[in-house]
Amino acid sequence: MSRHRKENRLQSITSINVTPLMDLTFLLLIVFMITAPVLEYAVDVTPPSLNAEPVVDTVHKIINLTRGGDIRIDERTLSLAELEKFVQGVKQTAPDTRYHIRADESRPYGEVITIMRTIKNVGITDISLLTLVEE
């Protein structure tokens, strides 16, 4: 009889239940699928300094986004709707005007994109971002 018991023990050892292993694998896969896109946007980036060629053109407008979130152009503070009307007026009088956006580095990137989108809605596609020279 002792031989029979040893054979049963060996048989039970050879059959491995892989269900918990599969559950763990799928759980890890789901965790990595959720966290990978979040990690991409978790990096703190401050891109305001860049060595670039100086801006050389005669007809240009500089749109400033201040630290407080105000949009200023030609010493006037404008809302997004007023900026759109301003750009439409300039486009009618001087259609080859180039626009440069200078934003404070503390402002969210989405606000700069909103200003660019507002200018693009008028039909202007030549928009530049102004930065400081790297030290």
Contact in structure between 34 and 118 (CB atoms under 8 Å): no
Residues pairing with 127 in the sheet: 99
In a domain, 55, yes or no: no
pLDDT, residue 6, reads 57
82 and 110 housed in the same domain: yes
Q: Would the pLDDT of 47 be above 80?
A: no
pTM greater than the 0.85 cutoff: no
Share of the chain residues as helix, strand and coil, in percent rounded to the nearest 5: 45, 15, 35
36 and 76 housed in the same domain: no
27 and 64 housed in the same domain: no
31 and 72 housed in the same domain: no
Q: Would the pLDDT of 35 be above 70?
A: yes
CA distance 66 to 69: 5
34 and 72 housed in the same domain: no
67 and 113 housed in the same domain: yes
32 and 76 housed in the same domain: no
64 and 120 housed in the same domain: yes
77 and 36 housed in the same domain: no
pLDDT, residue 134, reads 66
Per-residue pLDDT band for 46 (boundaries 50, 70, 90) equals very low
pLDDT, residue 85, reads 92
Across residues 34-57, what is the average pLDDT? 59
* pLDDT one-digit tens code per residue, 90-103: 888 888 888 888 88
* pLDDT one-digit tens code per residue, 64-80: 888 888 888 887 888 98
33 and 92 housed in the same domain: no
Give the domain extent around 18.
2-40
In a domain, 114, yes or no: yes
pLDDT, residue 65, reads 87
In a domain, 46, yes or no: no
| Identity at 29, one-letter amino acid code | L
pLDDT, residue 102, reads 86
35 and 66 housed in the same domain: no
